[in-house]
Amino acid sequence: MSKLFQDKVAIVTGAGNGLGKSHALALARLGAKVVVNDLGGDRAGQGASATAAQQVVEEIQAAGGTALVDGGDITRFADAEAMVQKALDAWGRVDILINNAGILRDKSFAKMDLADFRSVLEVHLMGTVNCCKAVWEPMRAQNYGRILMTTSASGLYGNFGQSNYGAAKMAVVGLMNTLRLEGAKNNIHVNALAPTAATRMTEDLLPPDFANLLSTESVTAGALAMCTEEAPSGEILCAGGGCYSRTTIFETEGVFVRPESQNAEHVAGQWQQIADTTTQHNLDNAAGQTERFIRKALTALQHGAAKAEA
């Protein structure tokens, strides 16, 4: 059997069930030592129990792998720090972090209680932030790290009744975009996974007949590919049902509007050209947009001045 992650130490949050469990089992099978984190709450984040995570650890150990359980609440930074310290104390390093833990509290925005909005943000966004912060210095010190965010098509494209979940899942993409820049000099690669799988998180959303097709294992194959030594950085991998694709954010070429015409009516009138996707730009960072706009504006102004002189 391949030992792709031999001697690597991995942390997987929300690993007591579903995708997290699948990720943890596969990492262990491929040679990694795994911290199996799970608060043990239900799908809405209520309750707590280490039973599910402990069962995953026992399954890994029964198969000859190495794992330990962590029942910490990732919405508390102290718990995230303690989880990372547990891995450092046991194995001396942390190579991989898969931010998988999540909850659902779906309702239309009109009917949603803001407390439920905040709770989802706390788990998906701040839980991810806390775990990334807790592993950041150890990864910098060892000049190696692979971090995987879990985003969602609900964040990338929208989904009725999931404004809280969608907002959180798009937010972790923004976090990835910056961390991959800040981590580059220390060989820390940061990517995102947008999964589609039949789990307790999606049991009300997917037809029962799709359960076998949308296996957790098919998603895990993509997740682990983004955690290897050769993995890219700053990419969004979509995975489900054995299908894998890349999502990226492009910016259209757009238009330059001269100062005397820079008003709402004129910009609105140019919308078709602004939205034209014939020519698109994949920007490496936020400054790239500013630099492109300055070049485009200066070129247009210089061209206009040259025409006036002629």
Active site residues: 165
What the block records as the tokens of 291 is: 């630099």
Decide: residue 64, CB within 10 A, 0-12 exposed, 13-18 middle, 19+ buried: exposed
Residues 23, 224 contacting (CB under 8 angstroms)? yes
